[in-house]
Amino acid sequence: MELTELNDLVERMVKEALDRRGVATLLIAGKTGVGKSTLLNAVFGENLAETGQGRPITPSARLYEKEGFPLRLIDTRGIELAAYTQTVTELIAHIRIRNEGRDPRDHVHVAWYCLSEDSRRVEDGERDLVAALARHVPVLGVITKSRADMGFRDEVLRQMPELRNVVSVRAITEELDDGPVLPPKGLDTLVDLTMEVVPEGQQTAFAAAQRVALKHQVNQSRKIIATAATAAAAVGATPIPFADAAALVPIQVGMLAGISAAFGLDLSRAFLGTIVSGGLASMGGVVGGRAIVTGLLKLVPGAGTIAGGAIAAATASTLTTAFGFAYLAALKHLREQHGDAPLSADDISRAFQDQLRRKAKESEET
């Protein structure tokens, strides 16, 4: 494949991967002072209400989004009793309009209703708002600033039965006056429960946006690898001599783009191009001989063609799977080492090639 063709392919696959990942829309509500901004920073690594572009969707709520970030945020003003009726009427009307649209990417996908543990009370207006929201979108209760539950979670569930679940969280480390240090808690549970109620089409987007539970980015990547392996097997099974290698490249580049998107990486043609070039070069050195053998088998008439196709399908699937899991292992290792620190394309490419060489060595030994 010529360099120009590869660049065009990478650019196309970046666009397709971002389109498939899409965007998830989270509505967050709660009274003034419950700690919504702190919670958003802890889960997503930033507060879209501060870093994104916002526009009013009702007098009491704004929609925030940021180019390239896979989450939209609908942030309501503090739910106060004085403005309760107006707030609820306007908000529910907007959600209904959005969710009746044909494109599911424009829907409101999940809501978090936040209550401070300090208050230890649920007001009538809050109960009514949650009940109204739950008729249109799954709602999770989030008890913020959690230190000592003392039965408050159970009370929230009793008074707000429409909630899918309630999670007690502490978004940041707290040092109490008498000395004990309380670490963050409950954020991973909040992400896990949100992933369970977010529609399947938005799960990759939410997994990519959150910065709490690496396992969800890994799980979404595994699905992408499985899809690519199935496509590779179909290509490998076609009885066309030597056609496999060129046809597999778009599948494998698309797979790398999809995994990158699932990890929330800042995708661009240059970024992915660096990773693809290094990965394909390493892969070619490992599998070239086997690809040629498979192509030769397909030249055998009759049963030889069928056998060659079957072997090529299995080989194409296996190699694509190995390629994908090497990239996944590289990203997982880098995230475990560096957390949310920005990763350069060169760093990722080197880690990817190291994983490919390791898998090749393991294959030779077995």
Check if the beta carbon of residue 228 is closer than 8 Å to that of residue 17.
no
pLDDT at position 297: 47
Check if the beta carbon of residue 257 is closer than 8 Å to that of residue 14.
yes
pLDDT at position 351: 95
pLDDT at position 78: 62
Q: How far apart are CA 232 and CA 225, in angstroms?
A: 10
Superfamily in which the 23-209 domain is placed by CATH: P-loop containing nucleotide triphosphate hydrolases (3.40.50.300)
Upper half-sphere CA count for residue 3 (Cβ side, 13 Å): 2
Please compute the mean of the pLDDT values over residues 294-312 and round it to a whole number.
Answer: 55
pLDDT at 1 over 60: no
In this predicted model, which residue has the larger pLDDT, 5 or 160? 160
Check if the beta carbon of residue 235 is closer than 8 Å to that of residue 251.
yes
Summarize pLDDT for 181-200 with one digit per residue, the tens.
889 999 999 999 999 999 99
Amino acid, res. 85: T
Nearest to 232 by CA among 215, 221, 242, 244: 244
**The two three-digit tokens of residue 91, written as one number:** 């908000």
**The two three-digit tokens of residue 152, written as one number:** 């408050």
pLDDT at position 289: 44
Q: How far apart are CA 270 and CA 19, in angstroms?
A: 18
pLDDT at 244 over 70: no
pLDDT at position 340: 83
Query: Domains of the chain: which residue ranges?
Result: 23-209, 213-365
